[in-house]
Amino acid sequence: MALKIILIVILVILAFPIFWISVAKLVRKMFRFPAPAFIGRLLDSNYRRRIQPPDKFIQRSGIKEDMRVLDLGCGSGAFTTFVARAVGEKGKVYALDIQVDMLKQLENKLSRPENKDIKNIKLIEGNAYELPFDDGSLDLVYMVTVLQEIPDRNRALQEVKRVLKPEGVLAVTELFPDPDYPWKSTTTKLGEEAGFVVDKVSENFFNYTVRFKKS
């Protein structure tokens, strides 16, 4: 009897997060909107970086030294500082988000002593439909659990394609617990329909990156 009760408790504990993830996914399919600013600390946490290691993300995305990179939908900056160090002093990272509160959290993060050495990040309030960059001016654009939050994804991808150099890279990273999580095939299809060419698909079902090149 005791064993049965223990098993029931374990099943309930396991089922609870699955239930809420399922509900959240259903809601997000009905309504597309950015992740609220009040969860910024959770998004920019060591726990998040344990399941999405920045070094692996940078490698999979193709981020290299001296690049001009756009962090599209940067949020509170979970990966922004890591990318800034990866591109080096001659590189540049543009951290763009539609929410001022998210950018304020990133600004506060950059003011901490451990980040005082970073001088190559520019914060931009904006949206994915009207990127404030010249045609063919960026080496790489990356989105981490962002693309599915955008209502008109094709329009956003066309704008990304506009600002990328002829051999520019778009890197889209998704994580399963995210309520907007899409299958790899869905992400691949979105990029191809927008005129991008798949360069490489990395990692697994739980955490993957699709790297595209501008056609």
| pLDDT average per 10 residues of sequence, the chain (215 residues) | 60 49 46 61 82 95 98 97 98 98 97 96 98 98 97 98 98 94 96 98 92 93
Q: What is the pLDDT of residue 33?
A: 52
Q: Where are the domains of the chain?
A: 1-31, 33-214
Q: What is the pLDDT of residue 85?
A: 98
* Nearest of 87, 90, 123 to residue 107 by alpha carbon: 123
> Cβ(142)–Cβ(84) under 8 Å?
no
Q: What is the pLDDT of residue 63?
A: 98
pTM of the model: 0.83
Q: What is the pLDDT of residue 189?
A: 98
CATH code, 33-214: 3.40.50.150
